[in-house]
């Protein structure tokens, strides 16, 4: 019998997760099928009832359900509790576990590139920022500060994780080696022309990690590259969180070097040049 998987969120029109995981099932000859299940908040309870009745073999979770879905799991991992959000449901011995693979997704590109983290500044205060903060703590960042256009939200995040708070207007004055964009600024559409950080304050020795990966090169990433800073793409975070999801469900490890060109083709219409 084909094992059923899916992703819940709202909206889901442009989710790349079905492409990733159905490719993975084909790659390893697994009899599985993954589909997008657009689920507005008021439909979450009914969906989770169906999830158990079918039962589905695994689930990806995205906005706006990453916190609410925790109440429907049997066990939430320590990491999920620490972040306060999960993005993956999986079964172990008929027990439904909730996990957060965004932290692994965030950390892995920095580790693989051999980039050490000194002082870090997180731009943004939402759910993605929480996973980033936990990741930075696991990487042993010497200092972590958070900033956002709404001071109260920044203070709430800082209080939850014992962070420094930086005024949005003074963000470029903070001595950050690593700047992480966890805001939607730069995302394709009406925010595309925006950058969360002044480009003239970047330079060699700095690391810029933009969680926005569509368009391929955000204004933030372009200006960082022009300044001589090291740029880490948010696409890598997406790749590695998906790799970890697939491992939890199947025990198999998706080859990132094959998955990345597949996603670049889907997103940007061309695979990266080789060599």
Q: How far apart are CA 160 and CA 131, in angstroms?
A: 12
Nearest to 257 by CA among 244, 269, 272: 272
Cross-strand partners of 181: 123, 210
Residue 235 structure tokens: 């696409």
Residue 10 structure tokens: 């709202």
Q: Which helix (H) or strand (E) holds 5?
A: strand 3-9
Q: How far apart are CA 85 and CA 181, in angstroms?
A: 19
66 carries an active-site annotation: yes
Q: How far apart are CA 137 and CA 247, in angstroms?
A: 24
**What contacts 124, CB < 8 A, 6 or more positions away?**
146, 148, 181, 182, 183, 196
Q: For 43, which DSSP code?
A: G
Looking at 66, 108, 130, 171, which residue is catalytic? Answer: 66
Q: How far apart are CA 248 and CA 2, in angstroms?
A: 18
Give catalytic residues, as residue numbers.
66
């Amino acid at each position: 019998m084909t094992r059923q998987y899916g992703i819940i969120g709202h909206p889901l029109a442009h989710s790349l997760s079905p492409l990733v995981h159905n490719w993975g099932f084909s790659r390893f000859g697994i009899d599985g099928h993954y589909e997008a299940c657009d689920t507005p908040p008021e439909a979450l309870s009914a969906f989770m009832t169906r999830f158990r009745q079918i039962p589905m073999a695994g689930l990806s979770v995205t906005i706006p359900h990453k916190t609410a879905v925790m109440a429907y799991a049997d066990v939430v991992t320590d990491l999920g509790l620490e972040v306060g959000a999960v993005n993956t449901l999986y079964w172990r011995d008929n027990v439904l576990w909730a996990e957060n693979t965004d932290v692994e997704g965030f950390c892995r590109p920095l580790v693989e590139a051999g980039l050490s983290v000194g002082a870090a500044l997180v731009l943004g205060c939402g759910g993605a920022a929480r996973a980033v903060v936990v990741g930075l703590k696991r990487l042993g960042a010497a200092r972590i500060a958070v900033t956002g256009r709404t001071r109260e939200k920044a203070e709430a995040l800082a209080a939850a994780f014992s962070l420094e708070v930086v005024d949005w207007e003074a963000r470029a004055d903070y001595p950050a080696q690593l700047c992480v964009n966890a805001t939607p600024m730069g995302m394709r559409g009406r925010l595309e022309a925006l950058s969360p950080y002044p480009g003239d304050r970047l330079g060699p020795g700095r690391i810029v990690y933009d969680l926005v990966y569509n368009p391929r090169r955000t204004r933030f990433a372009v200006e960082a590259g022009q300044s001589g800073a090291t740029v880490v793409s948010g696409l890598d975070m997406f790749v590695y969180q998906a790799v970890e999801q697939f491992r939890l469900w199947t025990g198999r490890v998706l080859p990132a070097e094959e998955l990345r060109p597949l996603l670049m083709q889907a997103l940007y219409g061309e695979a990266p040049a080789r060599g």
